C-alpha cells in the first residue's frame, strides 16, 4: 500500500515559506498556499516574481530558506527525499515540465527521453516500452520517436517534454510557463491537453503570465507580485476582471 | 563613404565573425547530413548497431593482418560496395576518407619511399632514389589506412549517433559514460546554435572593421557568456533529471534486437574476415 496517502487533505500545504538564492537574493517572501487534489491551479506573476522558483520548491528541487512545505501529508525536505521509498513515491506522483524544453530534453533521442523517467524509477523494461508507445500515441509524436531533440521545432519539443512526464503517469502536473514561445496552434492544443488532464482527475499546477491560458484552464489562481509575495487568491473570473490588481502585479500595463 | 569602396570594405571587415559563422554552420550542416544518411534505407542502416561494431572491428583486424596488397584492395572494394548499397553518396564518402589521409599517413609514408632498402624504382636528381620496396611499403600503408578509415566511416555514417554510443555497450563501456557522451553531443548542438545567434547579432551591429584587440575582446566575451549559459543549463538539466527520479546512477534500456538478416550478415562478415586473413597471410 502506498504510504503517501493523504485522504481528502490538500496535496500541498505551504506555510510561511521564504526562499532566497544564495541566502541573499529573495525570490519568495512569506508564502501561504494550498493545492487540493484534482484542481487546476494557476500561479500568476510577472517575470522575476518567483513563480518558477515556487514550482521547483513544490517539486522538491529547491528547498525553502524558512517556512514549511507538506506534500501528500509529509514534510517535503531534502532529508525526506534522500529516503528511497519517499523519493520513489513522490517522483512517481509529481511530474514537472520545465519552461526551457532544451533543459528537459537531455537524451539523444525522443524514445530514450520518454523512457528515462520510468527507467530511473525502476519500472520493468516491458512496461517502460508500453508506456513510451502509449505516450508517443497520446501526444501524436510517433514519427519523432528516433529523432534527436535538437532537430525538433519548439512545439514538437514541448510535446516531447510532456510525453516524457506522461510516461511517469503522475497524479500532479507542474507546468512552468507552458505556453512560452509556442505558436497559437500549439497553445490551443496545450490548453486542450491541460483540460484533458483535469478531466482525468489529475491535479495541474501551472506558473504563467499568460492571462489567456489561465482563463481557459484554471479553477483557482494565486497572484504573485514583484515583491515575491502572494497578493491575491481567487477564481480566474474575479482575478482577471480586477484591472488594478493586474496592474499592481505587472501583468497588464496601465 | 563612397559606394564603390563598399564591397571590399565589407569583405575585410568582421572577417573573423564571418569565418566563425561559416565554421559553426558547416559543423551543424555536416552533422545533420551525416544523421540524414544514417536514417536512409540501406543495407548497413538495417543492421543492429552492436553487430556493426563487432563487424567493423573484425574487418579492421583483417586489414591489419593482411600482407597481400590484392586482399586489402579487395576489402577496400567491399567498403565501396557497402557504401553504394547503403545510400552513402560515393563522392562524399571518398572525400571524407581520402582528403585527410595524405596529410597524416602521407607524412609517415613519404620517408619510406627513400629510406627503405631495395631495388631502384626511380632515380631523382641529387642522388635521391625511390626503391621498389619503399614504394610498396608506402602503398601498403596508405591502402591499409584508407581501407580501415573507410570501414570506420561507413559505421559512423550508417548509424545515428545515439546508436553509435549505445552500441559501445557491447564493448563494456559503462552506461554512465554512454549517457554523458550522449548528453554532450546533444548540448554541443544547442550551444553551437546559441553561439551562432550571438555572432549573428554581433554581426548585425558592426559598422566598421574590428581591430585585433576588439576581436580578442569579442572572443573573450562570447566565451564567457557561453560558459555562463552552459553552467546555467547544466544546473537546469540536472534538476530535470532529478525531477524524473534520477539519483546519481542512471538506468538505461537496450532496444536493439538481432534479426535473421543480422545473423546472416554476421556469418558473411566472419567468412570475409577469415578468407582475408587466410589469403593475405
Shortest distance, CA B207 to any CA of chain A (angstroms): 31
d(CA B175, CA B160): 18
Residue pair A152/A103 in contact (Cβ under 8 Å)? The answer is no
A146 reaches B (C-beta below 8 A): yes
Query: Which is higher by pLDDT, A115 or B188?
Result: A115
DSSP secondary structure letters along A192-226: HHHHHHHHTT-EEEEEES-HHHHHHH-SEEEEE-T
Tell whether B44 is covered by a domain.
Answer: yes
Tell whether B6 is covered by a domain.
Answer: no
Shortest distance, CA B110 to any CA of chain A (angstroms): 42
Is A96–B161 a contact, with Cβ atoms under 8 angstroms apart? Answer: no
Please give the distance of CA A209 from its chain centroid, rounded to a whole number: 14
Tell whether B139 is covered by a domain.
Answer: yes
Residues 43-102 of chain A with CB under 8 A from chain B are 56, 59, 61, 87-88, 91-92, 94-96, 98, 100, 102
Average of pLDDT values for A30-49? 95
A115 reaches B (C-beta below 8 A): yes
Tell whether B57 is covered by a domain.
Answer: yes
Instruction: For residue range A193-247, list pLDDT tens digits in order.
Output: 999 999 999 999 999 999 999 999 999 999 999 999 999 999 999 999 999 999 9
Residue pair A205/A172 in contact (Cβ under 8 Å)? The answer is yes
Nearest CA in chain A to B162: A108
Residue pair A60/A71 in contact (Cβ under 8 Å)? The answer is yes
Beta strands in B52-203 (DSSP E): 120-123, 129-131
Tell whether B32 is covered by a domain.
Answer: yes
d(CA A193, CA A202): 11
Sign (positive or negative) of CA dihedral A119, A148, B172, B51: positive
Residues in chain B: 281
Sequential pLDDT tens for chain B (281 residues): 334 444 444 444 456 777 777 777 777 777 777 778 888 889 999 999 999 999 999 999 999 999 999 999 999 999 999 999 999 999 989 988 888 777 778 788 788 778 878 788 778 787 788 888 888 888 888 899 999 999 999 998 999 887 888 888 788 888 888 888 888 888 888 888 888 888 888 778 877 777 778 878 888 888 898 899 889 899 999 999 999 999 888 887 877 888 899 999 999 999 999 999 999 88
Which one-letter DSSP state was computed for residue A172?
Answer: E
Interface ipTM > 0.95: no
> B32 contacts in A (CB within 8 Å)?
151
**pLDDT of amino acid B14:** 53
Q: Which residue has the cell 554581426?
A: B203
Residue pair A57/A64 in contact (Cβ under 8 Å)? The answer is yes
Shortest distance, CA B167 to any CA of chain A (angstroms): 13
Q: What are residue A175's phi and psi, to 5 degrees?
A: -120, 115
Domain locations along chain A: 12-248
- Phi-psi domain of B127 (left: phi exceeds 0; alpha: psi -120 through 50; beta: other): left
* Assigned CATH class of A12-248: alpha beta
Best B27, B192, B243 member to test A by mutation, with max A CBs in 10 Å, is B243
Dihedral angle at the C-alpha atoms of B240, B242, B246, B247, nearest 10 degrees? 150
Residues 6+ apart with CB under 8 A from A122: A88, B251
> B183 contacts in A (CB within 8 Å)?
106-108
> A109 contacts in B (CB within 8 Å)?
160, 162
**pLDDT of amino acid B163:** 84
Residue pair B80/B90 in contact (Cβ under 8 Å)? The answer is yes
Closest C-alpha to B44, from B160, B173, B185: B160
Split into its structural domains, chain B has a count of: 1
Q: Which three cell numbers stand for residue B231?
A: 553552467
User: Residue B153: which domain range?
Assistant: 13-279
Best B244, B246, B255 member to test A by mutation, with max A CBs in 10 Å, is B244
Instruction: For residue range B16-72, list pLDDT tens digits in order.
Output: 777 777 777 777 777 777 778 888 889 999 999 999 999 999 999 999 999 999 999
Tell whether B3 is covered by a domain.
Answer: no
Nearest CA in chain A to B182: A108
Q: Which three cell numbers stand for residue A44?
A: 500568476
* Angle in degrees, CA B261, B263, B265, rounded to 5: 65
Tell whether B86 is covered by a domain.
Answer: yes
Average of pLDDT values for A149-158? 89
Is B237–A88 a contact, with Cβ atoms under 8 angstroms apart? Answer: no
Coil, strand, or helix at residue B254? Answer: coil
Amino acid at each position: 500500500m502506498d504510504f503517501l496517502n493523504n485522504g481528502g487533505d490538500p496535496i500541498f500545504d505551504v506555510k510561511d515559506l521564504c526562499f532566497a538564492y544564495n541566502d541573499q537574493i529573495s525570490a519568495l517572501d512569506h508564502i501561504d498556499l494550498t493545492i487540493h487534489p484534482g484542481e487546476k491551479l494557476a500561479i500568476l506573476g510577472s517575470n522575476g516574481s518567483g513563480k518558477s522558483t515556487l514550482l521547483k520548491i513544490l517539486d522538491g528541487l529547491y528547498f525553502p530558506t524558512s517556512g514549511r512545505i507538506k506534500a501528500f501529508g509529509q514534510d517535503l525536505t531534502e532529508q525526506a527525499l534522500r529516503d528511497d521509498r519517499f523519493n520513489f513515491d513522490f517522483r512517481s506522483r509529481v511530474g514537472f515540465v520545465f519552461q526551457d524544453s532544451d533543459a528537459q530534453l537531455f537524451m539523444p533521442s525522443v524514445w530514450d527521453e520518454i523512457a528515462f523517467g520510468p527507467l530511473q524509477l525502476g519500472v520493468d523494461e516491458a512496461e517502460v516500452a508500453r508506456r513510451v508507445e502509449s505516450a508517443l500515441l497520446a501526444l501524436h509524436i510517433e514519427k519523432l520517436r528516433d529523432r534527436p531533440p535538437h532537430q525538433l521545432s519548439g512545439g514538437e519539443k514541448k510535446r516531447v517534454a510532456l510525453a516524457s512526464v506522461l510516461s511517469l503517469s503522475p497524479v500532479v502536473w507542474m507546468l512552468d510557463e507552458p505556453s512560452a514561445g509556442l505558436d497559437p496552434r500549439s497553445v490551443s492544443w496545450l490548453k486542450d491537453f491541460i483540460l484533458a488532464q483535469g478531466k482525468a482527475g489529475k491535479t495541474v499546477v501551472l506558473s504563467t503570465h499568460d492571462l489567456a491560458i489561465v482563463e481557459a484552464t484554471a479553477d483557482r489562481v494565486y497572484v504573485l507580485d514583484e515583491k515575491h509575495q502572494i497578493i491575491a487568491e481567487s477564481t480566474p473570473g474575479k482575478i482577471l476582471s480586477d484591472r488594478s490588481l493586474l496592474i499592481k502585479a505587472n501583468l497588464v500595463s496601465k | 563613404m563612397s559606394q564603390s569602396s563598399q564591397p571590399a570594405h565589407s569583405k575585410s571587415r568582421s572577417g573573423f565573425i564571418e569565418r566563425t559563422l561559416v565554421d559553426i554552420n558547416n559543423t551543424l550542416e555536416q552533422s545533420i547530413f551525416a544523421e540524414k544518411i544514417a536514417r536512409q534505407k540501406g543495407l548497413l542502416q538495417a543492421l543492429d548497431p552492436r553487430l556493426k561494431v563487432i563487424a567493423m572491428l573484425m574487418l579492421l583486424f583483417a586489414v591489419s593482418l593482411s600482407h597481400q596488397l590484392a586482399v586489402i584492395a579487395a576489402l577496400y572494394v567491399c567498403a565501396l560496395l557497402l557504401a553504394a548499397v547503403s545510400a552513402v553518396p560515393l563522392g562524399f564518402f571518398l572525400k571524407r576518407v581520402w582528403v585527410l589521409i595524405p596529410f597524416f599517413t602521407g607524412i609517415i609514408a613519404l620517408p619510406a619511399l627513400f629510406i627503405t632498402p631495395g631495388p631502384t624504382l626511380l632515380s631523382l636528381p641529387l642522388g635521391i632514389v625511390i626503391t621498389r620496396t619503399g614504394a610498396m611499403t608506402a602503398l601498403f600503408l596508405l591502402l591499409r589506412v584508407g581501407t580501415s578509415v573507410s570501414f570506420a566511416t561507413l559505421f559512423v555514417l550508417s548509424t545515428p549517433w545515439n546508436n553509435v554510443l549505445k552500441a559501445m555497450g557491447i564493448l563494456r563501456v559503462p552506461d554512465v559514460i554512454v549517457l554523458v557522451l550522449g548528453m554532450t553531443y546533444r548540448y554541443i548542438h544547442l550551444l553551437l546554435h546559441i553561439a551562432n545567434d550571438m555572432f549573428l547579432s554581433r554581426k548585425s551591429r558592426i559598422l566598421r572593421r574590428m581591430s585585433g584587440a576588439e576581436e580578442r575582446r569579442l572572443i573573450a566575451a562570447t566565451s564567457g557568456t557561453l560558459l555562463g549559459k552552459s553552467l546555467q543549463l547544466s544546473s537546469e538539466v540536472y534538476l530535470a533529471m532529478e525531477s524524473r527520479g534520477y539519483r546519481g546512477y542512471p538506468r538505461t534500456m537496450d532496444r536493439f534486437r538481432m534479426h535473421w538478416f543480422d545473423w546472416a550478415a554476421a556469418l558473411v562478415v566472419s567468412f570475409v574476415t577469415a578468407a582475408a586473413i587466410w589469403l593475405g597471410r
